[in-house]
Structure 1
Amino acid sequence: MAEHDPLRFATGLSAKLATRSRHVCALFGAGTSKACGLPDVAELQRRILAALPKPQSDSLTGLLHGRNLEEGLSRLRRISALLTGDQAIDGLTAAGATELDRAICRVIISEVDIGHADLTATRHFAAWLARANYHFPVEIFTVNYDLLFETALEELQVAYFDGFIGNLRARFQTDLVETAPGSEQDSVPAFFTRLWKLHGSVNWAWDARQVVRVGQAVGEEVAAAIYPSDTKYEESRRVPFLVLQDRMRRALHQPETLVIVGGYSFGDAHLNELLFDAAVRRERTEIAVFCYSTIPELLAERALLTPNIQVVGDREAIIGGIRAAWAVPENNIGGIFEDGRFLLGDFRRLAQFLAKSASREPDVDGRLRQLLDAVAQNLPADGGA
């Protein structure tokens, strides 16, 4: 019976990450935030329903019938845009839909507040980015709304660009986002990590007919720009979302691209197709998907037909189009394979692995400790030298 070698897989991934000519991308979902102590989408939905007063909770329950949270929000915003006066859809007037939208966003902002989160994993991840020295910028795509990545990047003094320019009310710069990575037209230096928030953020706000990024989570009097409304006549309000999704499509089609996917449940059909299409059309694009436990069947079906999609779960993996269990080594492999389980599907373990790999420095652990200690001591990452 075929089995996959966990150490061989981890060693091969490290070698790929160490190749500086690689274009490295990552796609992270709610599992990464959950690893830091924040709720995933299902738990967030339960908390929203529990926090809303009964009339609003009942309205949202109706909207969520056959829909996920983001689809419910999108429908809510269509209702708000379509109606006038006392007209109603699903028992909601335009004013009622707008107020429910704001109430939902207030709960979301409260629940994904990182004040009580454990940032250890994102700090390890930022420590890897701090030492990354690729020819092309590392591009991080996330569907999460929280500020975990921004906070960790800033703590470890990792320069990044998120598509907005400015501090107090930063404006989205489409032209800077659309330039090809590493091209002569790319005005943002390659050492700037790209952080692309595909579904918006708690610090994005609607400003007239555009989205702006503010310095902190938006206030209670406005709705955060979380996930786009899909009304055609509000196309201008969709600009960041459409541009960023197109950026992901073009990034995945760059030659020699390595994509790391973690904490993502493959529940977004559009993003799934972007990944699968790139894997089919670009044979030298490699996609490594890390699942916390079981492998989703939708993903398994594609990986079995597409050898450059490698999927690893805690008990089995699909590598080279072959689905098989992990070969259990005689001894545990610290941080990678312990007690019969492959561990890198846990974002905390994956971030640790990244922080210690893809570096040619002789004292990786020492450098990592220096970066993390700098955060605790509020010193520059070079130790104040």
Structure 2
Amino acid sequence: MSYHDPIRQSKYLRQTLSQDKKPVGFFISAGCPLAVSMPDGEWPLIPDVAGLTKYIKEQIDKETTVVNDDPRSLADAYAQLIEEVVKTGKVNPNIEDILSFLRGMMQISKGADDIRGFSEAELENLEKLVCQKIAEKLNVKLPDNKTPYHKLAKWVNNIDRDTSIEIFTTNYDLLLEEAFESLKVPYFDGFVGTRFPFFDLRAVEDNLIPNHWTRLWKIHGSINWYLRENKDVYRSTSLEEHDSYIIHPSHLKYDQSRKMPYLALIDRLNKFLRQNSAVLILSGYSFSDDHLNDTILNALRANPTAMVIALLYGNLTTTTEEKDEDETVIKTIINYEKALHLAENRSNLSIWTLDEGVIGGLRAKWKPTKFDFDAEENIANAVRTKDIPILDGEGKETGEKMKEYEFRLGDFAVLGDFLQELIGKEQFKIEKDGI
């Protein structure tokens, strides 16, 4: 039976992050805010997509506004919108599905009297209301300066590199900006200017920024991006309400001016992965965005020297027991089915979950090849948890057991600790060597 060594993989990651000439990037996605510790009763700082979907529905249910002469309130219109999304085959549509469908209808509503029972004005007001509620929920601050976001910023600030760190994110919140600014870590997000910072396409495409500035690419927009009257995209210097927030939960865009930042930043991700020996570390990304998946996979196919390591929270598989009249059958559920399929067919895409890893296309459990490793070698927090039963081909226990190990880097909080530990180890080495 094959295994992957978590100690070896953590050493590989450490060596990768210590090479000053290798292009290194991080991809921070929706699951990362869940890793921020909060006071009792206040967790999560920002909900996951399912939680955000529920929140938006609860907030819009309170809306009694009627648009022009429409016979129903925006709350009733939103309920009807969800029903229309369900008709397309989305059984439990999330806020990304709903907003994408809404914007799709907006594309074809121009000049029409009625689209599936919605007027053009009603669709525009629904889109504005949904984005406003998202912005309100995501306009939060980090609870202290010890969060994983701060540890990532500290690591960036304490390394000396010939190539810049690039951070990609699909999140619309300002948590990365808050952490970087609190530690005075310079970064560039594509915007320049003071009064109305505007998107500088040339600086993004040609990478015309000082090397010591981290690149922060917000692929799906941000709660402080907005459209002004002339239809250009600007970044706000405050968080006052705007007529049109630039929030893109999918690749579907309905306005040419909104496409420009999105397409430029997607292209930036593609260019990053096409660099020689580039390494991109994904955290909090579940591979649910097919357009992003295509961008990543196409770049990896074109550049075999690039590597993507996806750190996924929790187990790759979950076992459940089902009882019938005669016996108990144990069934296995794959939690990251799409990620598993992609990694098994792409040797330079690895996924590391709590219980298993897929490396070089090979799926296997975690198990150290030696058991006398010290704490310094195990900075990624790989631990033995328990002995688990071995199942036969029909899902029944054979009576034999094997040792189970966990590799916890899929938790963004543990990744933050890992980066914090790297800073200490590198500083210790410098002091020891007298460099």
TM-score computed with the length of structure 2 as normaliser: 0.76
Any idea what the Cα deviations from partners look like across 1:280-314, whole Å, max 9, x if unmatched? 22121111110102342222222223222221100
Deviation of 1:25 (Å): 1.3
Q: Does 1:281 align with 2:307?
A: no
The answer to whether the Cα contact below 8 Å between 1:205 and 1:218 also exists between their aligned partners in 2 is no
Number of the residue aligned with 1:380: none
The more displaced of 25-34 and 263-272 is 25-34
What amino acid does structure 1 have at the position aligned with 2:427? P
Deviation of 1:161 (Å): 0.4
The answer to whether the Cα contact below 8 Å between 2:169 and 2:217 also exists between their aligned partners in 1 is yes
Number of the residue aligned with 1:11: 11
Q: Does 1:129 align with 2:156?
A: yes
Give the share of equivalent positions with the same residue, in percent: 31
Larger radius of gyration: 2
Number of the residue aligned with 2:394: none
Number of the residue aligned with 1:240: 261
For 1:109 and 1:223, how far apart are their aligned partners in 2?
Answer: 11
| Structure having greater relative contact order (Cα 8 Å, sep ≥ 6) | 1
Any idea what the Cα deviations from partners look like across 1:79-109, whole Å, max 9, x if unmatched? 3454357822233212111211122122111
Number of the residue aligned with 1:370: none
Number of the residue aligned with 1:41: 49
What amino acid does structure 2 have at the position aligned with 1:317? G
Matches within 5 A, 1:261-272: 261-272=282-293
**Count, aligned residues:** 358
For 2:213 and 2:274, how far apart are their aligned partners in 1?
Answer: 20
Number of the residue aligned with 1:217: 239
For 1:201 and 1:39, how far apart are their aligned partners in 2?
Answer: 16
> What is the root-mean-square deviation in Å for CA atoms of aligned residues?
2.6
Number of the residue aligned with 1:163: 190
What amino acid does structure 2 have at the position aligned with 1:346? D
The answer to whether the Cα contact below 8 Å between 2:246 and 2:258 also exists between their aligned partners in 1 is no
Number of the residue aligned with 1:26: 26
For 1:353 and 1:60, how far apart are their aligned partners in 2?
Answer: 44
Structure-2 change in CA distance of 1:12 and 1:348 (3 Å): same
What amino acid does structure 2 have at the position aligned with 1:43? G
Number of the residue aligned with 2:72: none
Number of the residue aligned with 2:329: none
Unaligned runs of 5+ in 1: 180-185, 367-385
Matches within 5 A, 1:211-360: 211-219=233-241, 222-227=243-248, 230=252, 234-295=255-316, 296-327=336-367, 333=378, 336-338=381-383, 339=385, 340-357=405-422
Any idea what the Cα deviations from partners look like across 1:30-60, whole Å, max 9, x if unmatched? 0112223311111111111111123144034
Unaligned runs of 5+ in 2: 37-44, 62-74, 317-335, 386-404
Structure-2 change in CA distance of 1:210 and 1:78 (3 Å): farther
Number of the residue aligned with 2:128: 102
For 1:283 and 1:48, how far apart are their aligned partners in 2?
Answer: 42
For 1:263 and 1:192, how far apart are their aligned partners in 2?
Answer: 24
The more displaced of 294-303 and 201-210 is 294-303
For 1:63 and 1:194, how far apart are their aligned partners in 2?
Answer: 39
What amino acid does structure 2 have at the position aligned with 1:49? K
The answer to whether the Cα contact below 8 Å between 1:80 and 1:95 also exists between their aligned partners in 2 is no
For 2:307 and 2:107, how far apart are their aligned partners in 1?
Answer: 42
What amino acid does structure 1 have at the position aligned with 2:337? E
Matches within 5 A, 1:62-73: 62-65=83-86, 66=90, 68-73=94-99
